[in-house]
Chains A and B, each alone.
Chain A
Amino acid sequence: MTTDSQKNDDRKAWMGVLARAKPDALAALMPADQPDHVLLRAPEIGSVMVRGRVGATGAPFNLGEVTVTRCALRLACGTVGHGHVQGRNRDHARQAALIDALMQTDRAEAIRTQVLHPLAQTEQAARHARAAKAAATKVEFFTLVRGEDK
Chain B
Amino acid sequence: MYVAVKGGERAIDNAHAFLAEERRGDTSVAELSVAQIREQLRLAVNRVMAEGSLYDPDLAALAIKQARGDLIEAIFLIRAYRTTLPRFGASRPLDTAAMAVTRRVSATFKDAPGGQILGPTFDYTHRLLEFRLAADGVVPPAPTALATGDAVPHITGFLNRDGLIETDTPSDDIPPDLTREPMELPASRPLRLQALARGDEGFILSMAYSTQRGYGRTHAFVGELRIGTVEVEMDIPELGFAVCIGEVEVTECETVNQFKGSKTEPPQFTRGYGLTFGQTERKAIAMSLVDRALRWKELGEDNTGAPAQDEEFVLMHADNVQATGFLEHIKLPHYVDFQSELELIRKLRAEAMSALQKEAAE
Q: Is the CB of A63 within 8 A of B275?
A: yes
Q: Which of A8, A58, A129 has the most CB of B within 10 A?
A: A58
Residues of A within 8 A of B246 (CB): 19-20, 66, 68, 85-87
> Beyond A48-B90, A60-B93, A139-B116, is A133–B242 a contact (Cβ under 8 Å)?
no
Q: How large is the interface on B (under 10, 10 to 19, 20 to 34, 35 or more residues)?
A: 35 or more
| Cβ-based interface call for A55 (8 A) | yes
Q: Is the CB of B173 within 8 A of A59?
A: yes
Q: How far is the CB of B298 from chain A (nearest CB, A)?
A: 12
Bound together, the chains give a CA A12 to CA B92 distance in angstroms of: 15
Q: Is the CB of A86 within 8 A of B232?
A: yes
Q: Is the CB of B232 within 8 A of A50?
A: yes
Q: How far is the CB of A26 from chain B (nearest CB, A)?
A: 13
Q: Is the CB of A59 within 8 A of B190?
A: yes
Q: Is the CB of B145 within 8 A of A138?
A: yes
Residues of B within 8 A of A49 (CB): 87, 89-91, 177
Q: Is the CB of B236 within 8 A of A84?
A: yes
Bound together, the chains give a CA A61 to CA B171 distance in angstroms of: 11
Residues of A within 8 A of B169 (CB): 58-59
Q: How far is the CB of B258 from chain A (nearest CB, A)?
A: 17
| Cβ-based interface call for A32 (8 A) | no
> Beyond A16-B244, A131-B147, is A59–B50 a contact (Cβ under 8 Å)?
no
| Cβ-based interface call for A107 (8 A) | no
Q: Is the CB of A59 within 8 A of B90?
A: no
Q: Is the CB of B171 within 8 A of A60?
A: yes
Bound together, the chains give a CA A16 to CA B156 distance in angstroms of: 30
| Total A-B pairs, Cβ < 8 A | 234
Interface segment out of the listed B98-106, B130-138, B354-362: B98-106
Q: Is the CB of A65 within 8 A of B273?
A: no
What 0/1 pattern do residues 48 to 87 of A give for CB contact below 8 A with B? 1111111111111111111110101000000000101111
Q: Is the CB of A65 within 8 A of B54?
A: yes
Q: Is the CB of A19 within 8 A of B87?
A: no
Bound together, the chains give a CA A11 to CA B242 distance in angstroms of: 10
Q: How large is the interface on A (under 10, 10 to 19, 20 to 34, 35 or more residues)?
A: 35 or more
| Cβ-based interface call for B348 (8 A) | no
Closest residue of A by beta carbon distance from B173: A59
What 0/1 pattern do residues 260 to 296 of B give for CB contact below 8 A with A? 0000000000010101110000000000000000000
| Cβ-based interface call for A30 (8 A) | no
Contact of B94 among A44, A50, A86 (CB under 8 A): A50
Q: How far is the CB of B7 from chain A (nearest CB, A)?
A: 39
| Cβ-based interface call for A127 (8 A) | yes
| Cβ-based interface call for B238 (8 A) | yes
Q: Is the CB of A47 within 8 A of B87?
A: yes
Interface residues of A (CB under 8 A from B): 8, 11-12, 15-16, 19-20, 44-68, 70, 72, 82, 84-88, 127-139, 141
Not counting A56-B254, A61-B191, a sample of 12 additional A-B residue pairs whose C-beta atoms are within 8 angstroms of each other reads: A16-B243, A46-B88, A49-B91, A59-B189, A60-B172, A62-B175, A63-B194, A66-B55, A66-B245, A132-B147, A135-B145, A139-B116
Interface residues of B (CB under 8 A from A): 49-50, 53-56, 58-59, 82, 85-94, 96-97, 100-103, 110-111, 115-120, 142-149, 154, 156, 167-179, 189-191, 193-194, 197-198, 231-232, 234, 236, 238-248, 250, 252, 254, 271, 273, 275-277
| 4 nearest A-B pairs in the assembled complex, by CB-CB distance | A86-B246, A58-B168, A16-B244, A61-B190
